[in-house]
Chain A
Amino acid sequence: MNRFWGFIRKEFYHIFRDARTLIIILGIPVSQLLLFGYVVNTEVKDVKLAVYDQSKDDVTTRIINKLTSSGYFELVKNLDSDNDIEAIFKKGKIKEVLVFEPDFAEKLEREGSADIQLLADATDPNVARMVAMYTQNIINSFLKQEQPLATVPMQVNASIKMYYNEQLRSVFLFVPGLMALIMMLVSALMSSISITREKELGTMEVLLVSPLKPIHIIIGKVIPYLLIAFVDSLLIILMGNLVFNMPVNGSLLLLMGECFLFIFLSLSLGILISTVAPTQLIAMFMSMIGLMLPTLLLSGFVFPIESMPEVLQWFSAIMPARWFNEIVKNIMLKGVGFMYVWKQTFILLAMSVFIVFVSVRKFKIRLM
């Protein structure tokens, strides 16, 4: 046992001696959380607006004022001709152009209706959709305010409630996925590289002929990464809470347990990779393409799974991170207990057993 602890101590020493490794281990989670929290933001604000007002009357001026005072829009340019619209869109800054027809106020008064044309730059479809929606809402509320008498005889109003994320913070969506990504990076990628490195340098043979049992060697090599991944996940939860006010509504203990399960799964994936990959570079490519990329793209981290083609949805189902994401969202945001996550937990457990089984077999074959 003493010998085993000595071996683990040596592994820790290896990891922490290299400053670069430490930077990767601590710097990546922190910087990525900050990036996702502050920068990757789907909220739309300060939309650059241009107006082609052919009427320039009291009503159009007030509509424009209402738009610009809403906080969503910023009036950048007044256009004088139809031809300028195309040119100004092509420059790229302007996202929406509003065209008021001539004699707008007069027509509204006399004929009871007037037209606004809303041209949105739809190169980014989501932004275009939201911009158009905001504009319409603001114009509608302008109407209500201006003509209280003209209210509709019968009207259904909706009161809208946003559950689990009242302020619609994008970061709430990203924290679970980020935890999965970082744990994959530390537990699967780094551990697979560290084991493959011993193979490549020939030191694995030396260890194998030592009195340490092979299973102890593997456990000894991965324990430091298990601890680091655990610390990283705590770091993300803590930072999410302190910096972005992301709550932990459910049981923290359950959350830790699930993290532990996911780390265990990632480590077994790392070991499996290291039994297959002959060189560090190949181990790196296998983890990057086989684990990191799907975790980033197919787990529902950033992109909703329901929007993917069916084939990719199937792929997503065999990605551990997808189930882990659901678990973390459920526990942290919905505040539910084990009853709501037992299915996902069971899937992760089954995956772990399967992978451990396969890598033990592979490892034995290699030894023979």
Chain B
Amino acid sequence: MQVFLSILRKEFIQIFRDKRMLAIIILVPVVQMMVLVYAANMEVKNVDVVVVDNDLSQSSRSLANRFSGSPFFTLTGTTFNEKEAEALLKDDAADLILSIPAGFEEKLIREGNASLQLIFNAINGSAAEISAGYAQNVLLDYNAGIISETLAIERNESPGGINTVVRYWYNELLDYKHFMAPGILVILVTIIGMFLSGMNLVKEKEIGTTEQLNVTPIRKHQLIAAKLIPFWVIALFDLAFGLLIAKFLFKLPIEGSLLVLFTYAAIYLVGVLAAGLLISTFAETQQQVLFIGYFIIMIFILMGGIFTPVESMPRWAQIIDIFNPVCYFMQVIRMVLLKGSGFGDIIPQIIFSVIFGILMMAFSILKYRKRA
């Protein structure tokens, strides 16, 4: 115990002696929350619409007005020339062409139905899809509007007769920041834990003190435990700090129990820290730790469902994700914060993280050699 406490004290002294370290601990969460969460926004809004109105009728104008009246679309121009509109699309000056053919109103009145064309810039496929959905809704509204005008039927009761009432649970306003902020917190905690612990051991290797430690009777597990605990504390502190910023900046809801979240995070971090340590046993320089770490973290995070659902990934990726610790924490933090899930709901994730932690610990203790 005395040995363990001595190492622990030494680690804390060294970490806090370096003022840059303090800056990293405090500034990284602030910057990540302020820049990343705002930048990482997949919300689609302000879709620029250009109208090609070759009909110039009452109906075509009121249809165009429906679009400009929607908070989702912005009418940027009107033209008669299809070519001109396409040039705007090519030039990124418009995202959507609403093309109303000549004779639109006449056909609508005479035949009871008429067609128009919606042309999307679909380079961002998912944005185009969402915009298309909104455009369809505008048209549905418009159709219902004509019907109510002509037949004086209650607007909301479409003649089909089935009313679908949509309710968005856990994020009623569909605020994308409430989705991203917990994900960014996972990245924060993972990066802090993995890099700091990995770099720390390699640094001792680089300056030669590892050798000095290896000729002392320190036991491996004492050394590793004492090396990891400070970063474990720092990462948990940063989680709390980041959570506070998120709560303050964008009113991130905390539906569930913080005890559940932090208990899980504490378990999760053991595995992450040990993984950092494991990397450091493979590397000779801090630079190599950075490169290996960057490569691994990039894969973990992209596959972990930070901004795309794991369910949409191909089967093989989902199988790999069974072994991806980030994926589990990503689920847990959103479940606990946004839905209020409790211990009972996250049992599978806890089991995995316990196994992962034990395995990583075992590997890194085995791999760490006191003698060659």
Contacts and interface: CB of A to CB of B under 8 A. Distances in A.
Given A39-B314, A90-B341, A143-B160, A284 B303 contact: no
A20 B291 CA distance: 10
B167 A119 contact: yes
Contact of B41 (A116, A168, A308): A308
Interface residues of A, number: 98
B227 interface: no
Interface stretch (B87-95, B233-241, B266-274, B362-370): B87-95
Contact of B302 (A40, A115, A156, A333): A40
B169 A164 contact: no
Contacts of A144: 160
Given A40-B308, A41-B308, A114 B150 contact: no
A303 B128 contact: no
B179 A47 contact: no
Given A158-B117, A304-B127, A92 B175 contact: no
B42 interface: yes
Interface stretch (B214-222, B330-338, B352-360): B330-338
B119 interface: yes
B299 A35 contact: yes
A81 interface: no
Interface stretch (B4-12, B76-84, B282-290): B282-290
A307 B95 CA distance: 14
A348 B8 CA distance: 51
A90 B335 contact: yes
B123 A165 contact: yes
Given A114-B162, A122-B168, A329-B123, A304 B338 contact: no
18 contacts: A20-B288, A24-B295, A39-B314, A43-B125, A92-B341, A115-B162, A123-B178, A124-B309, A130-B126, A153-B147, A158-B139, A161-B117, A165-B125, A172-B125, A281-B286, A298-B39, A304-B44, A326-B92
Given A126-B43, A163-B119, 9 more contacts: A35-B303, A38-B317, A92-B339, A113-B162, A114-B163, A117-B167, A154-B143, A163-B121, A172-B123
Interface of B: 35-36, 38-46, 63, 89-92, 108-109, 112-130, 132-133, 135-136, 139, 142-143, 146-147, 150-151, 157-172, 174-176, 178-179, 286-288, 290-291, 295, 298-299, 302-303, 307-309, 311-314, 317, 331, 334-335, 338-342, 345
Interface of A: 20, 24, 27-28, 31-32, 35-36, 38-48, 89-92, 95, 108, 112-130, 132-133, 135-137, 139-140, 143-144, 147, 150-170, 172-173, 193, 280-281, 284, 297-298, 302-304, 306-309, 312, 326, 329-330, 333-334, 336, 340
